[in-house]
Structure 1
Amino acid sequence: MTGRHAGRLWGLGVGPGDPELLTLKALRLLRAAAVVAYPTLEEGSSFARSIVAGFLPGGQRELPIRVPMTTERAPAQRAYDAAAVEMAGHLEAGRDVAVLCEGDPFFYGSFMYLFGRLAERFPVEVVPGVSSLTACAAVVGQPLAARNDSLAVLPAPLPDAVLRARLAEADAAAIIKLGRHYPRIRALLEAEGLAERAHYVERATLPEQRLVPLAEAGEVAAPYFSMILVHRRGEAWRWPKD
């Protein structure tokens, strides 16, 4: 175990994109950290850093984590291995490290891979953030689930048969990680009679956000930051009228 004067690792959820959705706690810890780490593409800028850029006080050490965007797991795991070693050096030296994570760190967040490598050796605090799930529901203006509804979060890369089975079991669903899978998912929802009860959302809370009923969305080049929300019973939260 590391000594008592080790630095603390903070996993900060920075929300879906709108800087005003950063929590007060995340902001306080962000400004206090000696080192700020964040995921970024091998070539290009970091979306997580761009969310908090206006709040950075300056003078902090920055640690970009360059994660290859590939379906193969090994390259990304090597990137997290290398980042964990570098962070461990800062923590052992007594420097607090804040890791920025889009959305929430423990909801499909990249921070969990660093948590798995460092949590047994150093003190860790996770600060939840506004997730893409709740952000998309908010901008669409429709609740995710009501009363005793079951809600399923379904990654689009799942096979069609698995998606059909899980959609059949759930009252409401959020289908994430659309990207190139969007045409297949749209066709599946149409075949299941759910397209009329679904909304397509991309880049929620950002100035360029787009939201539209799925039945009117047509063929789109869905980005990584996109989602389909569907409720089997429609607007189940509304009180029935006589």
Structure 2
Amino acid sequence: MSVGTVHGVGLGPGAQDLLSVRADRLVRGARHVAYFRKAGRPGQARRIVEGMLRADVVEHAMEYPVTTEIPLGDPRYNACLSRFYASWTEQLAKLVREGEDVVVLCEGDPFFYGSFMHLYTRLVEAGGNAGPAPVPVAVVPGITGMSGAWTACGAPMTWGDDVLTVLTATLPEADLARRIRDTDALVVMKIGRNLAKLRRAVIAAGREGEAWLVEHAAMAEQRVTPLAEAEAVTPYFSILLIHGQGRRP
């Protein structure tokens, strides 16, 4: 019996017309489609492909067992997610070994801060929980959320020899301030509930006047706001930017 493939498909920042031709073809032709979501929510990846899936598609909603209920530093957090990824690795591997192809929908790019990476490493490791041999996996790159964000700002992100630093707002405040101070251009992701901490770090680095907050980049509800004017609460789909001002002709 032939073996299928797990396709990790990058959907880009949020608009269907920003999918690659290959991603569009795979999504529209998939018999099995899997995607991550928070329990009780439709999921951003699933929302992006609304109206694209074939009529007889089989959907596999991979619902996170935990998101913000347990602190990131708590050992229970990693243990809970590890079991979750191991379970879905086995389920996807079973489908593939039965000859089915599975498209896993990935927001942005599959290899850039994405949940798919945790499936990918387990699927390709021989002797893992997925079975005695690696499972065929193909990855389709996508436009990253940060690319969508700086495009929304309408300004070039890096010039000449500018150094671009990408951070997550989950880092300790002192680390954020140090790295923000030391870079030319900046992207901060995973802001969520960390906006107040991030704002303090930007101010401590002396760069509040340069910072922009982009919410829902490339989506209908897109909004670009100077950080100094941003509200206290911001959606998870937000990215902070500081544009480089380096060498140019």
Counterpart in 2 of 1:51? 48
Q: Which of 190, 209, 218 lines up with 1:205 in the alignment?
A: 218
Q: Distance in 2 between matches of 1:228 and 1:10?
A: 30
Counterpart in 1 of 2:128? none
What is the letter of the counterpart of residue 186 of structure 1? R
What is the letter of the counterpart of residue 14 of structure 1? L
Q: Is the contact between residue 9 and residue 123 of structure 1 (CA under 8 Å) also seen in structure 2?
A: yes
- Shift, 1:149, TM fit: 0.9
Q: Is the contact between residue 143 and residue 237 of structure 1 (CA under 8 Å) also seen in structure 2?
A: no
Q: Is the contact between residue 65 and residue 80 of structure 1 (CA under 8 Å) also seen in structure 2?
A: no
Counterpart in 1 of 2:78? 73
Counterpart in 1 of 2:203? 190
What is the letter of the counterpart of residue 168 of structure 2? P
Q: Please tell me the root mean square deviation across aligned C-alpha atoms, in Å.
A: 1.7
- Matched residue count: 233
Give aligned-pair identity as a percent.
41
Unaligned runs of 5+ in 2: 126-133
List per-residue Cα deviations over 1:7-27 (Å, max 9, x = no partner).
011000011111111111001
- Shift, 1:238, TM fit: 6.2
List per-residue Cα deviations over 1:197-223 (Å, max 9, x = no partner).
110111111111211111222x33111
List per-residue Cα deviations over 1:165-221 (Å, max 9, x = no partner).
22233211111111221012112212322011110111111111211111222x331
Q: Distance in 2 between matches of 1:115 and 1:167?
A: 31
Name segments (4+ residues, structure 1) moved above 6 Å: none
Secondary structure at the counterpart of residue 54 of structure 1: coil
Q: Distance in 1 between matches of 2:115 and 2:121?
A: 11
Secondary structure at the counterpart of residue 53 of structure 1: coil
Secondary structure at the counterpart of residue 55 of structure 1: coil
Secondary structure at the counterpart of residue 178 of structure 2: helix
TM-score, normalised with respect to structure 2: 0.88
Counterpart in 1 of 2:97? 92
Q: Distance in 1 between matches of 2:179 and 2:200?
A: 16
Q: Distance in 1 between matches of 2:205 and 2:41?
A: 39
Q: Which of 205, 228, 234 lines up with 1:222 in the alignment?
A: 234
Q: Distance in 2 between matches of 1:189 and 1:212?
A: 15
Q: Which of 155, 159, 165 lines up with 2:172 in the alignment?
A: 159
TM-score, normalised with respect to structure 1: 0.90
Secondary structure at the counterpart of residue 39 of structure 1: strand
The reply to whether residue 16 of structure 1 matches residue 13 of structure 2 is yes
The reply to whether residue 113 of structure 1 matches residue 118 of structure 2 is yes
Q: Distance in 1 between matches of 2:82 and 2:155?
A: 37
